[in-house]
Amino acid sequence: MGDKGSIWLPDAMSTFANEVDALFWFVFWTSTVLFIAVVAAKVYFMLRYKRTDETSVPEPVHESKLLEAAWIVVPTILVLFVFIWGFDVYLKMNTDPTDAYQISVMGKQWAWEFEYAEGVTAFSEMYVPVGRPVKLMMNSQDVLHSFFIPAFRVKMDVIPNRYTSLWFEATEPGEYQIFCTEYCGTTHSGMLAKVVAVSEEDFAAWIAEQSQDLPPEQLGEQLFAQCAACHAVDGSAKIGPALNGRFGTDRKLADGSTVTFDENYIRQSILDPASQVAEGYQPIMPAGYSSMSAKQIDGLVAYIKALQ
Ligand code: CUA
């Protein structure tokens, strides 16, 4: 599935994706065949038994026991067949292997945060090893979200105050889109991320690289992935104001006052977004970012300061 989307199913890229597809296509084609058969029979009977003159009286019809038995037995078998098949796939998808590699996923307005056991935190990209089961333990910081990886055929609600989980095993290296599929506010459609499936060696290398302490500006750039749904860095207005080229300039606020866009303004805007809203924008930035550490805020300040 490219950036433009498609009416076709995305390539099946997890171990059970093909089974999900097989079941889907079975239901799809069975329904198609039955639909055509029913409509064809209807049209045939309409023509065959058309009333030809005003006085004609049709012959009384008596039931056919065989026909009645057939339309009870055949659909029952069909429905049970789909149920058993579906239940089998459902169990596979809902029974995570005990040796799965676990990643914590936090949904928040409007970004995904991925935490690894090695102490690594990532935002817009979730690296996973190919050929190894991966289990996601998911939670939300604010409202209902839903985590969806179309290429893997997995989707699960992400709920505040409760863990939900899903698992998958990627079959081939590549980048796969992650969507939020539960309406969660203004920038719901911008709540995007990517799965980056890589070999075991590349995964280990990525973890090692991420574990190093980043210089503030790079840390800020990484953290900024959470802000990117609402704030552009190329001057274009999104739901929030663009943040490049602003440092050191005056900023008009919604209440008519003017402040300097400096370190303190950035810090204040992260910790208490509603306190200094830029002119022309709504006070919709979630307060959830106030849990950032001083080090993280330093990083974001350094990054935003450097944006041209
Ligand atoms: Cu999160 Cu929609």
Q: Are residues 163 and 201 in the same domain?
A: yes
127 against 61, higher pLDDT: 127
pLDDT at 5 over 80: no
Whether residue 10 contacts residue 167, with contact meaning beta carbons closer than 8 Å, is answered with no
Could you give the number of structural domains in the chain?
A: 3
Rounded to an integer, what distance in angstroms lies between the CA atom of residue 151 and that of residue 154?
8
Q: What is the CATH number of the domain that holds 286?
A: 1.10.760.10
pLDDT at 61 over 80: yes
Rounded to the nearest angstrom, the distance between the alpha carbon of 224 and the centre of ligand 1 is: 18
- Using the 3D structure, point to which of 94, 126, 150 is the last residue of a domain: 94
> pLDDT band for position 178 (50/70/90)?
very high
36 against 121, higher pLDDT: 36
Rounded to the nearest angstrom, the distance between the alpha carbon of 157 and the centre of ligand 1 is: 10
Instruction: Give residue 175's pLDDT.
Output: 95
Instruction: Give residue 1's pLDDT.
Output: 43
Q: Are residues 230 and 195 in the same domain?
A: no
113 lines ligand 1 (CB under 6 A): no
The pTM assigned to this predicted structure is: 0.75
Rounded to an integer, what distance in angstroms lies between the CA atom of residue 240 and that of residue 282?
8
Q: Are residues 190 and 240 in the same domain?
A: no
Within-domain flag for 2: no
Within-domain flag for 11: no
**Which of 156-160, 236-240, 242-246, 284-288 has the highest average model confidence (pLDDT)?**
156-160
Within-domain flag for 1: no
pLDDT at 158 over 90: yes
144 lines ligand 1 (CB under 6 A): no
- Using the 3D structure, point to which of 94, 127, 159 is the last residue of a domain: 94
Q: Where are the beta strands (DSSP E) in 32-133?
A: 101-108, 111-116, 121-122, 125-129
Q: What percent of the chain has pLDDT over 70?
A: 98
Q: Over the stretch 220-246, which tens digit does the pLDDT of each residue have?
A: 888 888 888 889 988 888 888 889 888
Domain region containing 241 = 216-306
Please give the angle made by the CA atoms of 42, 44 and 50, to the nearest 5 degrees.
95
Q: Are residues 141 and 161 in the same domain?
A: yes
Q: Are residues 121 and 175 in the same domain?
A: yes
Q: Are residues 191 and 229 in the same domain?
A: no
Nearest atom in ligand 1 to 180's CA: 2
Q: Using CB atoms within 10 A of its CB, is residue 47 exposed (0-12), middle (13-18) or buried (19+)?
A: exposed
Average pLDDT score over residue span 293-303:
86
Within-domain flag for 5: no
Whether residue 147 contacts residue 156, with contact meaning beta carbons closer than 8 Å, is answered with yes
pLDDT at 261 over 80: yes
Q: Over the stretch 244-258, which tens digit does the pLDDT of each residue have?
A: 888 888 888 888 888
Nearest atom in ligand 1 to 188's CA: 2
184 lines ligand 1 (CB under 6 A): yes
Nearest atom in ligand 1 to 145's CA: 1
pLDDT at 197 over 80: yes
Q: What is the CATH number of the domain that holds 150?
A: 2.60.40.420
- Using the 3D structure, point to which of 211, 240, 262 is the last residue of a domain: 211
Within-domain flag for 238: yes
CA distances to 192, 235, 270, 306 from 229, rounded to whole Å, are: 8, 14, 15, 20
From atom 1 of ligand 1, which residue's Cα is the shortest distance away?
Answer: 145
Within-domain flag for 114: yes
Within-domain flag for 158: yes
180 lines ligand 1 (CB under 6 A): yes
Contacts of 225 (CB under 8 A, 6+ apart): 111, 123, 124, 125
Nearest atom in ligand 1 to 110's CA: 1
Q: Are residues 207 and 220 in the same domain?
A: no
pLDDT at 182 over 70: yes
Q: Are residues 257 and 279 in the same domain?
A: yes
Average pLDDT, the chain: 90
Nearest atom in ligand 1 to 189's CA: 2
Q: Are residues 80 and 154 in the same domain?
A: no
Q: Which residue has the tokens 């690894």?
A: 116
251 lines ligand 1 (CB under 6 A): no
Average pLDDT score over residue span 87-92:
94
Q: Are residues 249 and 295 in the same domain?
A: yes
Q: Are residues 206 and 220 in the same domain?
A: no
217 against 213, higher pLDDT: 217
135 lines ligand 1 (CB under 6 A): no
Distance of CA 260 to the CA centre of its chain: 38
227 lines ligand 1 (CB under 6 A): no
pLDDT at 36 over 80: yes
Taking each helix axis from N to C terminus, what angle separates 17-48 and 65-94, rounded to the nearest 10 degrees?
160
Burial per residue of 53-83, b for 16 or more beta-carbon CB atoms within 10 angstroms, e otherwise: eeeeeeeeeeeeeeeeeeeeeeeeeeeeeee
pLDDT at 2 over 50: no
In degrees rounded to 5, what are phi and psi of residue 94? -105, 5
Which of 111, 124, 306 has its CA nearest to residue 298?
A: 306
Average pLDDT score over residue span 65-80:
94
191 lines ligand 1 (CB under 6 A): yes
Q: Are residues 147 and 164 in the same domain?
A: yes
